[in-house]
Structure 1
Amino acid sequence: MDSKQVKLLEVSKDTLEYVNSGNDDAHVVMCSNSSTFELKEAETSNSLLLMPSLAHGTTIEQKSTRTLKKQEVFGIYHTYYEMKLTKPKLQSLRNVLARYPYKGKNSELAKDPIGLSFTELKDMIQASEEEIINKLQELPAAKLRGKWRLLDVGFLFAWVSYLDSILREKQLTLEEVPLTDVEDWMALYDSSDINTKCISLFMEVDGDCLKWNSTAVSQLFALYLLPELRAFDSNDFFTAWQQSMPIGVTASEDDLNGVALVDYDSTPSLVKYLPEFELPEDINERLDILFRNRSKWTLQAITPYVQPLTDNNLNVAALLTKYARSSTINGVKYYSSKYITHTQ
């Protein structure tokens, strides 16, 4: 076996599991501290010669006679790799963290810290350090004892519900309570790091003033109510959904965008569990699933599902123009599959 053709690579257990999980469609990337570049092979009609050194015309001494010099060529190439700035696909970050869900301090039985260090995440995720950090801030993820974990939906639901029960008992709204009081109350529930993360996820903070982030809270409660059934009678769902909300939060059907969809064509009408983070990152595969669940989408409804796939060159509208078909009905623009699909 030619040792130049086969290379041995030692990897960690977590990295091996990630490789074996089926991520064989990923391209090679190069990362700076803040950006990710995709390497793709390109062809050229010119022959590229690889030489150890080459004298350029401006450096050749001008003489009356010419001297020929033997030049060794190490290789002739008709392809090369070009480096293009790309938006990294960070769904894998959530997937690897999901192996280590955090369900609250009372559920922690292991003495040793579990989860993934930031160094391990950098080794596993094809993205720059800054992009990984930014995504961790967006995700319901937190670092405990030096390891990153994904906060369980059930835990987050219980966290919001616990704070709401305190407010109800005291007959207060969140807007009437300073941030320091919330931090003191929730200190009994979990660690300060976890509480700080939950506050950033579900509240709008202006100095010491607080307000529920209605969309974030509504989506959390939908994610908590829907998964086991996958589909829910719409009348029953909207009733249970609103009744479970904290004081001051009014759920809107628009809040379901990116989390679930309402199928009014079925009898009875159903709310279907369809979170963006569970869909494939390939644009064609993702759109195929979306159009099988709903034949026509408005731009507002489909944007949360397409936005994560945009890059520096293509925004949501451009991606849909390229991969979907548009039509206008009663003055409203809809997007549908370029191919015939059947609604499930």
Structure 2
Amino acid sequence: MDSMIVTTADFNEDKYKLLQLNPEIEQAITTGSKVFIVGARDTRAVICTENKSYFIKKEDTSNLRLLTTHTDWSGSEETMTKRTIQVSGAARFHYLLEHKVPDVTQLRALLLESPYVKPRHDATESHVKRVKLHKLYTTGDLVGILQVSEHEVLKMLKEIHAFEEAGAWRLLELQYQTQVFTDMLDTIFQHDWDVLSEPGVPLKQFLTELDEPMVAIRQCCKLYGLLTLVNGEDHCTLNPVKVATFRAKSLFDEQIEEAKFQAQHEHVKPADAGWELDQFMEKWKLRVPDSVTVSLEMLCGLVLVKPQGAGKPTRIVYFPEEDLSPDPKKRFEQLFNMQEKWTIKQLEPYIKCVVSYAKHNTSVIVAQAHTLVASRQIDRKAVQQTMI
């Protein structure tokens, strides 16, 4: 059957846009689930379902697609009548979907714009006004700003142990959190409480000993252990590894303050910072309960062990995974800026969260390392062999 293509009176190339759907988005649309697009003029558009989020990415094509509402393509070959196909639009490109990795770092930064601190009984009016100037974020606010689904926002909030207060999500101010948990540990050791094994210590005992609000004590229990209900009363049980990690971090905090002081008199490079390994291990052991055996395995994703030249002691440097970019490319750049050569064992705690969505983790790692070979001396062969 011969066909004749004609354009409609309202033909317009800009009227319609083509989007190639993946199975998740298609299923959400066909089942009537929630699907929405978020974005601003200066950000990439993101399409979200109730559970996942995807960047909308433009893809140019070499062919011009003609768009028609004509759907009857059947017809006898013997029919001599010409078929007229009306075209109301055209597309020179289409859009693809690219999974967006939720950015926990950005979420944490947003909540720390106005962190929770201990209420001041003698707070002045000006202090209260300054506090109110900082924005507090609801779940809906975070969905719009982070451009991810509500499910992903709630999952991240749970991951960082945020708490909801008057409809807004909060985090403890970092220094305040450190101070509260340090006081809790000192109280535990002073009274010889068995807090490392269940059922733990009743929260009311901490309230009796410490001049801190319940919300701060509860959050510290969640951050460094777990809360359980025993005979209708909340009990706190601390995780030995998290306690040891907290004590290790406090050593680095002290070292960083000392390095800042030294930097006023001489240049201190990040690679030169940190502790001598033997000295660090000795001090670390003294800061944890006797029942806890410290090990460098506890600090995966938190520190780097850096061998030095001949005759120099090995050093350990603070390098937390949570401070790195969620974008795989940027994260690899940060990693190789920190040190030039990595093994897979070293890389694993720093990359597992950004390659989990890839089908072939090996190819992702090698490809990312390959892009940096030209400018840095990376032991790509060692990386690839270790991975295989």
TM-score (norm 2): 0.66
Q: Which residue of 1 aligns with 2:162?
A: 141
Give the structure 1 partner of residue 118 of structure 2. 104
Question: Within the alignment, does 1:289 sit opposite 2:331 as a pair?
Answer: no
Contact 2:202 2:236 in 1 (8 A): no
- SS of the aligned residue for 2:113 comes to coil
Does residue 322 of structure 1 match 2:367?
yes
Provide, for residues 61-82 of structure 1, a one-character-per-residue CA deviation record: whole Å limited to 9, x for no partner: 99966365472533x2221002
Matched AA of 1:261: L
Does residue 118 (structure 1) correspond to residue 139 (structure 2)? The answer is yes
Which has the larger Rg? 2
Instruction: Pick the aligned partner of 2:70 from 54, 71, 91.
Output: 54
Match of 2:354 among 291, 309, 314: 309
Once the two structures are superposed, residues 91-149 of structure 1 have per-residue CA deviations (whole angstroms, 9 ceiling, x without a partner) of: 32122223223343459853766532222111100211111111111114333333223
Aligned to 1:242: 285
1:233 aligns with 2:279: no
* Whole-angstrom CA distance in 1 between matches of 2:211 and 2:166: 18
Are the counterparts in 2 of residues 279 and 286 from structure 1 also a CA contact under 8 Å? yes
Aligned to 2:296: 253
User: How many aligned residue pairs are there?
Assistant: 310
Sort the Cα spacing of 1:85 and 1:142 in 2 relative to 1 into closer, same or farther, 3 A.
Answer: same
Instruction: Give the secondary structure class of the aligned counterpart of 1:101.
Output: coil
- Cα RMSD after superposing both structures: 3.8
Mapping of residues 19-168 of structure 1, within 5 Å: 27-51=44-68, 53-57=69-73, 66=81, 69=84, 71-74=86-89, 76-106=90-120, 110=128, 114=134, 115-168=136-189
- Whether the 8 Å contact between 2:302 and 2:319 is mirrored in structure 1 is yes
Distance 1:189 1:305, change over 3 A: farther
Correspondence 1:213 to 2:239: yes
Q: 1:176 to 1:254 in 2, by over 3 A?
A: closer
- In structure 2, give the amino acid aligned to 1:134: K
Instruction: State the alpha-carbon separation in 1 of the partners of residues 142 and 85 from structure 2.
Output: 50
AA aligned opposite 1:123 = G
- 2:226 and 2:306 mapped to 1: Cα distance? 31
The unaligned stretches of length 5 or more in structure 2 are 1-13, 15-38, 260-269, 370-379
Query: What residue in structure 2 maps to residue 200 of structure 1?
Result: 222
Number of the residue aligned with 1:333: 386
Letter in 2 for 1:110: V
Following the alignment from structure 1 to structure 2, what is the Cα–Cα distance between the partners of residues 34 and 190? 37
Matched residue SS, 2:88: coil
Query: SS in structure 2 opposite 1:297?
Result: coil
1:105 & 1:251 partners in 2: Cα distance? 36
Distance in 2 between the 1:68 and 1:121 partners? 53
Which residue of the partner structure matches residue 262 of structure 1?
305
Change beyond 3 A, Cα 1:63–1:105? farther
Moved more, 32-41 or 304-313: 304-313
For the structure 1 residues 254 and 105, does the alpha-carbon distance in structure 2 shift closer, same or farther, using more than 3 Å as the test? farther
In structure 2, distance between residues paired with 1:63 and 1:119: 61
Change (3 A) 1:319 1:102: farther
Whole-Å separation in 2 of the counterparts to 1:205 and 1:247: 23
SS at match of 2:70: coil
Could you tell me which runs of 5 or more consecutive residues in structure 1 were left unpaired when the two chains were aligned: 5-17, 336-344
2: CA distance, partners of 1:194 / 1:131: 25
Alpha-carbon spacing, 1:221–1:167, altered in 2? closer, same or farther (3 Å): closer
Structure 2 counterpart of 1:221, one-letter code: R
Deviation at 1:241, TM superposition (A): 3.1
Per-residue CA deviations over 1:143-178 (Å, capped at 9, x if unaligned) read: 333322332333333233222222222222214663
Alpha-carbon distance in structure 2 between the residues aligned to 1:127 and 1:278 = 20
For residues 300 and 105 of structure 1, the distance between their equivalents in structure 2, rounded to whole angstroms, comes to 44
Cα shift at 1:275: 1.6
Preserved contact between residue 252 and residue 318 of structure 2 (Cα < 8 Å): yes
C-alpha contact (below 8 Å) 2:46/2:147 kept by paired residues: yes
Partner AA of 1:212 in structure 2:
L
Distance 2:240 2:361 in 1: 24
Alignment check: 8 A CA contact 1:90 1:125 kept: no
The range that moved more, 60-69 or 263-272, is 60-69
In the superposition, relative to structure 1, how do residues 64 and 305 fare at CA in structure 2: closer, same or farther (>3 Å)?
Answer: closer
Secondary structure, in 3 states, of the residue corresponding to 1:100? Answer: coil
Change (3 A) 1:122 1:184: farther
Aligned to 1:11: none
Residue 48 of structure 1, CA deviation: 1.5
How far did 1:37 drift? 1.8
The alpha carbon displacement at 1:35 in A equals 0.8
